[in-house]
Amino acid sequence: MRIQPIFLVLLIFSALTHCSRDQDADTVQRHAGRTVEPTHKLEIMSEQRDRVVANIRVALAQTDQERNTGLMDVREMPFDTGMYFIFDNEQPRSFWMANTPLSLDILFIDRQQRIVRIHTRTVPFSERQIRSELPAMYTLEVNAGFVGEYDIREGMHVRLLEKEGY
């Protein structure tokens, strides 16, 4: 059986197009980055803990791997979403923005859930160290501008709520 040249060309074109589509889908997936899947709600409260200033949905980073990965490669995130890092002890903390394409507000929080240091509008992909300066047991990363939008200040408190509706 002899294959006509035109059918051979169409067969090759079809195979190349199919491979190209698969490669395009892989490329889009790689460039789309990671997504954040919130599992908990976190309340930011006034200094006296008498009123809630803001609510945010958070994904938890509790293991070394989760904390090391953080928000790396997350290219977009809903404004009311963030990541809450939970450490085993309280000590001065240091973060950096390498491989993080979003500008973030970073809040360092002590053992009593009091915000002890805030860094706003961090520079994406920067290797500059962002330090708590004071001992912290938790860190909250949110979209840049969140702190200003809700007038969040050092001395305010946070409260992590159990899984509700997630």
Q: Give residue 78's identity as a one-letter amino acid code.
A: P
**DSSP-assigned letter for residue 74:** B
Supply the pTM of this predicted model. Answer: 0.80
Coil/strand/helix, residue 162: coil
Q: Mean pLDDT across the stretch 34-52? A: 95
Spell out the domain ranges in the chain.
1-32, 34-161
pLDDT tens-place string over residues 75-93 = 999 999 999 999 999 999 9
Provide the percentage of residues in the chain whose pLDDT is more than 70: 79
Q: Of the CATH numbers 3.40.50.1110, 2.60.120.1140, 1.10.10.10, 3.40.50.10420, which one belongs to the domain with range 34-161?
A: 2.60.120.1140
* H or E stretch at 139: strand 130-143
